[in-house]
Amino acid sequence: NEIYLSGLGGTVPSLPMTAAGLEAAAREQLSPEAFGYIAGSASTERTAASNLRAFEKHAIVPRMFRGAAAPDARDLSVEVLGTRLAAPILTAPVGVLGLVHDDAEVAVGSVTSELGIGSVLSTAASSTIEDVGAVSGDNWWYQLYWPADDELAESLVRRADIAGAKAIVVTADTPGMGWRPRDLELGHLPFLRAKGIANYLSDPVFRAKLATPPEESAEALQIAVLTWVSLFGNHAVRMADIAKLRQWTSLPIAVKGIVHPDDARAAVAAGADGIIVSNHGGRQVDGAISALDALGPIASAVGHEADILMDSGIRCGADVIIALALGAKAVLYGRPWVYGLGLAGADGVRHALRSLLADFDLTMGLAGVSSVGEIDRSLLVATSGH
């Protein structure tokens, strides 16, 4: 309401109102390295493109004069994996935010906490788990890239638990990085790494592996980076290893990066409480199925046993509605707020998130829906798409 009224009053916002506008402004204003890192996807980037196009295969059919709630009575809230959120939206885990803005994950955690929505902190963060936990309120989850050392994995999970995370998200689609031409062309991978290892450098299990503290010299830091590289990828994790996570924490566990219903079934059988349908924004397997196309079959397969979330391609309020109608309880929002962070720090994150929230709220209300729980497939028809 506030956003809308300030527009009616003639105030011109300092940042663009749409995801596409934020991306265009970021392309102009961020360094080529930072922009390429955020915008880039795997190989030809066709999965990244089809993530967006998939939403056009579904159309909302708004309903009229049926007593839908007035704006102040609309209920956007939802409970997912035991976390109560003011709206079914969390910020996706995005690593190395220090490359984009110095305030990085601390800015994101404080803004999402202020708005009452969720956030998921990346393992590859530029800020420590403890610093982010201190500002993120009760609505944040921790994302684990399972390192090739279980003792280190356990240490990260326990730190997140102690710092106040309310769920653990284990990312399954990244045993190693995808083929990312934009990052390779800009030649800044070493820089990226050094900005994304705060939670290794601050971890006692990791530090015990280093002969010299990384703070002591440039050479010692370089050795720490190489040690991180040797530990980052883990091709040995199996779905059954979710049971290990269960020993390390009593928090709800979600597996992120699932697009096959059988993998969703296996994750739930191994003890996962949630599935995040995602193809990592098209950054891992180019040519992969769009996340939205994967959502419906997974919701049918395990939606009665686990909380389903989705990401990869959410750009506007209608996208949130379509994902919810196809079986997601909540969505993770990715790139647009990262552009906001790069453009204006915490203010930019707030702007991007409030714009999505307002768009979602208005679109839901105008479609004749009073609460998130009412959103289901009956609101949609299939279109021919593109």
Report, as residue numbers or ranges, the catalytic residues. 280
Instruction: Considering the complex, state which of residue 310 and residue 325 has its C-beta at the smaller distance from ligand FNR.
Output: 310
Task: Say if residues 125 and 100 touch (Cβ distance below 8 Å).
Answer: no
Residue nearest to ligand FNR (CB): 334
Cα distances (angstroms) measured from residue 86 to each of 62, 80, 219: 23, 11, 47
**Contact flag: residue 203 with ligand FNR (CB under 6 A):** no
Compute CA 132 distance to the chain's CA centroid, rounded to the nearest angstrom: 16
Could you say which of 22, 26, 34, 38 contacts ligand FNR (CB under 6 A)?
38
Compute CA 122 distance to the chain's CA centroid, rounded to the nearest angstrom: 9
**Contact flag: residue 124 with ligand FNR (CB under 6 A):** yes
**Contact flag: residue 122 with ligand FNR (CB under 6 A):** yes
**Contact flag: residue 118 with ligand FNR (CB under 6 A):** no
The binding track of 171-190 with respect to ligand FNR, each residue x by CB under 6 A or -, is x-------------------
The binding track of 297-316 with respect to ligand FNR, each residue x by CB under 6 A or -, is --------------xxxx--
Q: Regarding beta strands 89-91 and 118-121, do their DSSP bridges make them parallel or antiparallel, or are they unpaired? A: parallel
Instruction: Considering the complex, state which of residue 315 and residue 350 has its C-beta at the smaller distance from ligand FNR.
Output: 315
**Contact flag: residue 280 with ligand FNR (CB under 6 A):** yes
**Contact flag: residue 92 with ligand FNR (CB under 6 A):** yes
Binding to ligand FNR (CB under 6 A) within 149-168 occurs at none
* Per-residue DSSP letter, 235: S
**Distance (Å, whole) CA 82 – CA 142:** 14
Q: How many chain residues touch ligand FNR (CB under 6 A)?
A: 24
Token pair 């990715």: residue: 334
**Contact flag: residue 342 with ligand FNR (CB under 6 A):** no
- At a CB cut-off of 8 Å and minimum separation 6, what does 294 contact? 258, 259, 260, 277, 279
Q: Regarding beta strands 89-91 and 83-85, do their DSSP bridges make them parallel or antiparallel, or are they unpaired? A: unpaired
